[in-house]
Amino acid sequence: MFTFTPRLFLVVGNPASGKDELIAAVNVIGSLHAEIVPKHTNRKWHADDYNEMICEKIPNPADPFADYIDNPNYDIDNCDIVYENYGSKYGIKTVDIWDGLMRGTMQVLVVSNSKALNQLINAFGKLAVTLYVYSPITRDAYIKSTREKEERTHVENPYYLVDEEYISSRVKRFDMSWNIYVDNFMLFDHVLIFADKQEDLFDQIFRLFRAYERIIV
């Protein structure tokens, strides 16, 4: 018997806006409060995907320096919400979200795509809570930090090559999520601020979860 109504938090934000830090915060808080909803994708695997992405190809766990192998968990064909971002396909299984909500656990899903966002809001109604994560990071700062991260991954695994196409596509549409927020301002319930202090973002999301844990729909 739940003492509150579990919600689906839909997170929108530009590249390097703090979404990765928010995911880390949710993972630290643990499943007692919330869990990340993974997305299936055919884009290249990145070292900082953690539990947010189920990529079509993944490093070989038996030999990280070998060619990538098929991911047995990749199942985009059975996702009921499918969309494209930055030239790659992404898929979401709403049944998995419902399962999590039925277990009494808040669900957190990063989805910076207006079509998918509207589909999810229509599917989950009042259970959906929309968040925009804002950061003052510039396009140039994003390019620099992302290329450094890609190069570090290459050093750790020579098979992994710096994904210039990935960087270029995200830079080209750097303001996509900001435009979603501006064009659909009344659609958003909350704005979180990431000013390069991860602990501040941790505090904001924790307080938000605590607030919704006192609400019964």
- The per-residue pLDDT for 176 is 76
- The per-residue pLDDT for 129 is 96
Round to whole Å and give the CA distance between 197 and 92: 30
More confident residue, 214 or 123: 123
3-state secondary structure of 168: helix
- The per-residue pLDDT for 121 is 95
Indicate if the pLDDT at residue 158 is higher than 80.
Answer: no
Round to whole Å and give the CA distance between 33 and 211: 12
Average pLDDT of the residues of the chain: 84
- The per-residue pLDDT for 159 is 62
Domain ranges of the chain: 8-212
pLDDT in tens, 193-210: 887 777 888 888 888 988
Q: Residue 151's pLDDT band (boundaries 50, 70, 90)? A: confident
Round to whole Å and give the CA distance between 119 and 210: 26
* Sheet with 34-36, edge to edge strand ranges: 34-36, 106-110, 8-12, 128-134, 190-193
Share of the chain above pLDDT 90, in %: 36
Round to whole Å and give the CA distance between 165 and 212: 40
Q: Check if CATH label 2.60.40.10 holds for domain 8-212.
A: no
The pTM (predicted TM-score) of the whole model is 0.82
pLDDT in tens, 39-95: 999 998 887 787 899 999 998 878 767 788 999 999 999 999 999 988 899 999 999
Token pair of 165, please? Answer: 């196409």
Q: Residue 217's pLDDT band (boundaries 50, 70, 90)? A: low
CA distances from 63 to 25, 30, 66, 67 (A): 30, 30, 5, 8
Residue pair 156/216 in contact (Cβ under 8 Å)? The answer is no
Round to whole Å and give the CA distance between 101 and 117: 18
Give residue for tokens 């009494």. 104
Question: Which amino acid appears at position 132 of this protein?
Answer: Y
- The per-residue pLDDT for 124 is 97
Please choose, from the candidates 5, 8, 2, the residue with its C-alpha nearest in 3D space to the C-alpha of residue 35.
8
Lowest-confidence pick of 65-74, 133-142, 175-184: 133-142
Bridge partners (DSSP) listed for residue 54 = 40
